Amino acid sequence: MLYREAGQFKTNYVADSAIFPLREDRIGIGLIILAAYALAFLGNSFLLQAVMIPFLVFSLASIGLNILTGYTGLLSLGTGAFMGVGAYACYKLMTAFPGVNVIVWIFVSGFFSAGIGALFGLPSLRIKGFYLAVATLAAQFFLQWCFIRIPWLVNYNVSGALDAPLRTLFGVPIMGPNATPQVRYLVVLTIVILLTWLASNLVHGRIGRMWIAIRDMDLAAELMGIRPLQTKLLAFAVSSYYCGVAGALLVFLWYGGAEYDVFNINQSFFILFMVIIGGLGSLIGSFFGAALIFILPIVLGIVLPAVMSPFGITVGSDVIEHLRFMIVGALIIFFLIVEPHGLARLWQIGKQKLLAWPFPY
Amino acid sequence: MSFHKLSLKLVAATLLAGTALPAFAQDSVYVPLFTYRTGPFAGSGTPIADGMHDYLRMLNERDGGIGGVKLVLEECETGYDTKKGVECYESVKGKNPVVVNPWSTGITLPLIPRASVDKIPILSMAYGLSASARGDIFPWVFNPPATYWDGLSMIVKYIGEKEGGLDKLKGKKIGFLHLDASFGKEPLPLLQELAKQYGFEVALYPVAAQDMQNQSSQWLSARRDRPDYMIMWGWGSMNGAAIKEAVRSGYPMDKFYSVWWPGEDDARSGGAGAKGFKMLNWHAVGANFPAIQDIQKHVVDKGLSKAPKDKVGELLYNRGVYNSLLIAEGIATAQKLTGKKAVTGEDVRRGMENIKLDPARLKELGLEGFTDQLVLSCADHNGHRAAFMQEWDGTKWVKISNPIEPMTEQVRGQLEAAAKDYSEKNAGWPKRTEACDKAS
């Protein structure tokens, strides 16, 4: 009743290829963005700093990996390292040119990551599937080795760690210890919205269709005139760009300082799980996946003690931690059994049901 | 009871719990404990967590807290993971903690710049950023009782004395087995400098974090290089694996030295062959102290602790006790300085700067002979205290040396260089604005 497409006509090609052809969708997305911005003024510092900022950062990284794995069908285990390239590039750039606004460097640092990603994507022309995963695993180990071994990357800092210097935008500190979670959230949110909008245009347009063609059958795609090398490398570059920006945001707008160890293989798996749970080949799935994998354990950590304490059961933080692992693990298996195509597919089914509601046929 | 009623009750109980907390917080001091009883480092983390918790709990049970104020203890599980550590910090920040102890260098680093903004002091006991020993640059960070540079200089000094003088080290080869992370690499500049000064050779054996448990290649190289001494800088499962591997490859155990992190379980994993392994330490092992007896009586025997009875008084348990001793002293000193009972983070920062743990005070606390004295000041947040060498006799640690003073001159050189470097790289690093107390 509320959600239907009857009566909404598309009279030209531009309207037909719009990302949100339904008026209801446009209103919905507008409301979500509005709510997200309103949260900056309504949420407390824990919600913004420990939940929302990391959620957005991981969503961005998931979008990056989804472009590669979900849309182009190339499995990568180097996500953590590509995030690291972005973070280290951003650090070098902003300390070498402190006069330029740091937002510029966050966007530019992604290009360094894109370059490295394209380089390690070269083998993808010849190898596929698990073998490519192993090749990208090499990228993960090699880059991690670089982060430890090349002191130039951290400006010969004795502690070997990255730290966020004070940087401002319009006179307001957005980076460094004096930046409030509110301001940092707004910056991260704006960057994530911009890049998500760009990604949705990419995947719905010609480039995205080329990626999907390669994913579905690369031989057929090649016969149709799609050049596999360029297309695959472009996927690697764009994917790494997103990961790189996410890495820079992770270190400088979330942690405020980090060691090389943040970009280890576990980080790569973490993002890969988000993509798989969220739904391969879906942008909104990237957000769902990040929410399930990252936010759910936090919620459980808060809810479990609150639920148990009225019954006189007080458990230690370690038991909560074990319970978190078990429940999240069980939920992941549950969702994969119920819907192997990820949370995004559930969302799609829900939307279709809504279209017909309240008169299902 | 129907489900509906049950859920109503639940909601009511949660609301009650939520409203009851702030009223309670008025006359108490909130001390969060960042611990890790899960994950790959749990073997080292669990005894430390028990020691930290039990000592403070004992103060609550025996004395009703510190200075008549109850301590509200809350553990937050970090799993030695930076992500979760930062989450823990955010979740405790709003409850006015008087001090945080991250127990991981990776978690300490992001917290250092926040400490001065959030007014929460950081106690990173003998880990974290060595340069934070400088109170004039890092007023909110404390890393007593010694830095890694102090530790390395003590080991080299001890080896030198065994050889009959530091100049006898000339031409010797010293192996350095370290975790390949900033923690393990920190002593390297000092080691190179000492090597140049005394003419010994250094062979490096880095162990990557992902293969801590598989050190066969490092020990194979060690077999080939035949270093005269081996110094280890490890944590978690790396220590136990190294000792086991050293025994297997037949490395002479009496030539194997470590910084202060291995525990009994690590040494035990080497079996009978681990006899003779030596490490630095700065506090006693065992439960023969009135305060630790009180922990037994008031906490462990009453079932308020998670520690098994026989683990009380082990090395890493006592390390946790030492950590809590510093927290308690910081709070007590803050109460004395301010005259307030429920002190805040800002007060405890002042308190930590004025910590004076001399033998008389230790006796008063029931810890006579537990550790060497520790005096912190406005400028010195570390103390650079001497540590002693202890040896594994197959079943327990035996103290085998007097306190070894660090090589102050060389260490200070490193410290100055690092602190200067830090303030230069961080041009925006705030100048210290916190006033110093007269006493310090």
pLDDT tens digit sequence for B298-321: 999 988 888 888 888 889 999 999
Residue B427 has a pLDDT of: 57
**B426 neighbourhood in chain A, CB within 8 Å:** 163, 165
Q: Give the dihedral sign, CA B61/B63/B66/B67.
A: positive
Which two three-digit tokens encode residue B179?
């975790």
Q: Where are the domains of chain B?
A: 26-146+285-385, 148-281+387-408
CB-count exposure of residue A207 (10 Å: 0-12, 13-18, 19+): middle
Q: Which residue has the higher pLDDT, B404 or B14?
A: B404
Put residue B188 in one of left, alpha, beta given phi > 0 → left and psi -120 to 50 → alpha.
alpha
Buried b (16+ CB within 10 A) or exposed e, B52-70: bbbbbbbbbbeeebbbebb
Q: Which residues contact B339 (CB under 8 A, 6 or more apart)?
A: none
Q: What is the pLDDT of residues B166-182, one digit of tens each?
A: 888 888 999 999 988 77
What Rg, from alpha-carbon coordinates, does chain A have? 21
Contact between A159 and B109 using a beta-carbon 8 Å cutoff: yes
Q: What is the pLDDT of residues B372-388, one digit of tens each?
A: 888 898 888 888 888 99
Most confident region among A304-318, B224-238, B403-417 by mean pLDDT: B224-238
Whether residue A256 lies inside any domain: the answer is yes
d(CA A21, CA A27): 11
Determine phi and psi for A172, rounding to 5 degrees.
-100, 130
Residue B383 has a pLDDT of: 86
Whether residue A160 lies inside any domain: the answer is yes
Cα B426-B95-B39 angle, rounded to 5 deg: 75
**A163 neighbourhood in chain B, CB within 8 Å:** 109, 113, 426
Distance from CA of A297 to the nearest CA of B (A): 10
Pick from A76, A354, A4, A56: nearest CA to A232: A76
Distance of CA A359 to the CA centre of its chain: 37
What would the mean pLDDT of B420-438 be, rounded to a whole number? 71
What would the mean pLDDT of A237-260 be, rounded to a whole number? 91
Task: Please tell me which of the candidates B91, B181, B417 has its beta carbon nearest to residue A259.
Answer: B181
d(CA B27, CA B131): 36
Number of compact structural domains in chain A: 1
Q: What is the mean pLDDT of chain B?
A: 85
Under CATH, to which class is B148-281+387-408 assigned? alpha beta
**Contact present, B396 and B285 (Cβ < 8 Å):** yes
Whether residue A253 lies inside any domain: the answer is yes
Alpha-helical regions (H) of chain A: 13-16, 23-42, 45-46, 53-65, 79-96, 102-121, 129-149, 181-204, 206-216, 218-223, 228-249, 265-278, 283-290, 296-308, 317-338, 343-356
d(CA A296, CA A273): 14
Task: Please tell me which of the candidates B17, B110, B426 has its beta carbon nearest to residue A255.
Answer: B110
The amino acid sitting at B61 is E
Other C-beta atoms lying within 10 Å of the C-beta of residue B121: 29
What would the mean pLDDT of A325-329 be, rounded to a whole number? 84
Cα B331-B129-A141 angle, rounded to 5 deg: 135
Task: Please tell me which of the candidates B109, B114, B417 has its beta carbon nearest to residue A259.
Answer: B109
**A307 neighbourhood in chain B, CB within 8 Å:** 10, 14
**A255 neighbourhood in chain B, CB within 8 Å:** 82, 86, 110
Task: Please tell me which of the candidates A54, A261, A307 has its beta carbon nearest to residue B181.
Answer: A261
d(CA B86, CA B101): 12
SS3 B277: coil
Other C-beta atoms lying within 10 Å of the C-beta of residue B331: 26
Distance from CA of A157 to the nearest CA of B (A): 7
Which two three-digit tokens encode residue B86?
């930062």
Put residue B351 in one of left, alpha, beta given phi > 0 → left and psi -120 to 50 → alpha.
alpha
Determine phi and psi for B34, rounding to 5 degrees.
-85, 115
Structure confidence at residue A112 as a pLDDT band (50, 70, 90): very high
Distance from CA of B1 to the nearest CA of A (A): 14
For residue B435, is pLDDT > 70?
yes
Q: Which residues contact B230 (CB under 8 A, 6 or more apart)?
A: B174, B175, B176, B177, B222, B246, B251, B255, B256, B257
Under CATH, to which class is B26-146+285-385 assigned? alpha beta
Whether residue A296 lies inside any domain: the answer is no
The lowest-confidence range among A307-316, B113-122, B340-349 is A307-316
Across the strands, what pairs with B371? B283
Best residue of A57, A91, A259 to probe chain B, by most B CBs closer than 10 Å: A259
d(CA B345, CA A3): 54
CA distances to A125, B196, B258, B278 from B166, rounded to whole Å, are 60, 12, 19, 19
**B181 neighbourhood in chain A, CB within 8 Å:** 148, 160, 259-261
Q: Which residues contact B150 (CB under 8 A, 6 or more apart)?
A: B382, B384, B385, B387, B406, B411
**A303 neighbourhood in chain B, CB within 8 Å:** none
What would the mean pLDDT of B420-426 be, rounded to a whole number? 70
User: What is chain B's length?
Assistant: 440
**Contact present, B79 and B39 (Cβ < 8 Å):** yes
**A310 neighbourhood in chain B, CB within 8 Å:** 9-10, 13-14, 17
Structure confidence at residue A186 as a pLDDT band (50, 70, 90): very high
Task: Please tell me which of the candidates A45, A148, A306 has its beta carbon nearest to residue B14.
Answer: A306
Is the reported ipTM for this assembly greater than 0.90?
A: no
Q: Which residues contact B136 (CB under 8 A, 6 or more apart)?
A: B378, B379, B432
Distance from CA of A248 to the nearest CA of B (A): 14
